[in-house]
Amino acid sequence: MNKLNLKAAVWKEGSHYVSQCLNIDVASFGDSKKEALDNLYEAVKLYLEDNNKPKFVKVERPDVASFSLKYA
């Protein structure tokens, strides 16, 4: 059995929490941070079961950065 060490970001969006895996393009949500992360865990497991060659990005030490953007 293989083991992956993954990183996730979690934030509040309205009345829910959103969780996103930074290594694999998978996201989920829940009513709490724990539920959002538990749901993400299950979503990543399903993604890996269904995908023979997943695209995996190594994330060492992510930073949260803010920036402004003007758009039409």
Return the minimum-mean-pLDDT range out of 40-44, 52-56, 64-68. Answer: 52-56
Domain count, the chain: 1
3-state secondary structure at position 46: helix
Q: Is residue 35 part of a domain?
A: yes
**Domain that includes residue 16, residue range:** 8-50
Q: Is residue 12 part of a domain?
A: yes
Q: Is residue 22 part of a domain?
A: yes
Distance of CA 52 to the CA centre of its chain: 19
Report whether 13 contacts 28 (CB < 8 A). Answer: no
**pTM (predicted TM-score):** 0.83
Residue-wise pLDDT tens digits, 18-46:
999 999 999 999 999 999 999 999 999 99
Token code pair at residue 27: 């996201």
Distance of CA 30 to the CA centre of its chain: 13
Q: Is residue 17 part of a domain?
A: yes
- Distance, in Å, from the CA atom of 69 to the CA atom of 72, rounded to the nearest integer, reads 10
